[in-house]
Amino acid sequence: VGQEGSGVRLVADRLLNAAGLHPTQDVTAVSAGIDTMPDRLVSGDLDAFFWSGGLPTGAVQDLTERFAVKLVPLDEDLVKELQSVGGSARYYRSATMPADAYRFAQRGTSVPTVAVANLLITTDRTDPAMTEAFTRTVINSRDRIGREVHAAQLVDLRTAIYTDPLEVHEGAKRYYRSVKP
């Protein structure tokens, strides 16, 4: 379920609750990170593990190439149940893991999953010109970055400005306004 206090643990606990399972009573939770979870699965110390990260994650990719695993679909109904809790859980959304993210595990089939936004965060003291230039560089480099981090290819200019509950930095606003159709 991820390491204590980690984002993976937060997501795992929320997903278990949304599925009607208590994270400490209905499952035997093991605090572990992505550095040890794949080997523990192979050795039989774990039956399954949660992971939240970019696609593909190297440790998961390596696991799927050496051991038969099944990626568990997290469907839209589960996401709706998760969102119904309210608060920060409303920021989760349904997504589809592309069929080629983990080709040995997926065998050409996309997998429904849960996603949460990844944000670039700075302070309001950061120079707006620098933030605008940085935002432009990242957006213009989506394809190149996406060869390493698949999620970068999925950045959509129509939705990138929606960062609730965080405010968009003035420099980023200037960039998004400059490319608005």
Q: Are 71 and 111 in contact (CB under 8 A)?
A: yes
- Pair 134, 109 in one domain: no
| One domain for residues 107 and 18 | yes
Cβ proximity of 120 and 161 under 8 Å: no
Do 44 and 130 lie in one domain? The reply is no
The CATH number linked to 112 is 3.40.190.10
Does residue 37 sit in the same domain as residue 86? yes
Number of domains, the chain: 2
Boundary residue ending a domain (71, 88, 116): 116
Of 116, 144, 166, the residue that ends a domain is 116
The Cβ-side half-sphere exposure at 141, using a 13 Å CA radius, reads 9
Domain region containing 68? 1-116
Question: What whole-number distance in Å separates Cα of residue 176 and Cα of residue 172?
Answer: 6
**CA-based nearest residue to 92, from 144, 37, 52, 64:** 52
Scanning 31-147, the segments in alpha helix (DSSP H) are: 37-43, 58-66, 76-83, 103-106, 128-140, 142-146
In terms of domains, do 4 and 72 share one? yes
User: In sequence order, what E strands does the chain have?
Assistant: 93-97, 111-115
> Is 4 in the same domain as 21?
yes
- Whether residues 129 and 142 share a domain: the answer is yes
Res 25: pLDDT: 95
Show which of 66, 86, 116 is a domain's final residue. 116
**Do 128 and 106 lie in a common domain?**
no
Q: What tens-digit pLDDT sequence spans the chain (181 residues)?
A: 999 999 899 999 999 999 999 999 999 999 999 999 999 999 999 999 999 888 888 999 999 999 999 999 999 999 999 999 888 888 899 999 988 889 899 888 999 999 888 788 999 999 999 999 999 999 999 888 877 776 777 788 887 888 878 899 999 999 999 998 7
Do 137 and 63 belong together in one domain? Answer: no
**8 Å CB contact between 78 and 114:** yes
Say if residue 110 is in the same domain as residue 57.
Answer: yes
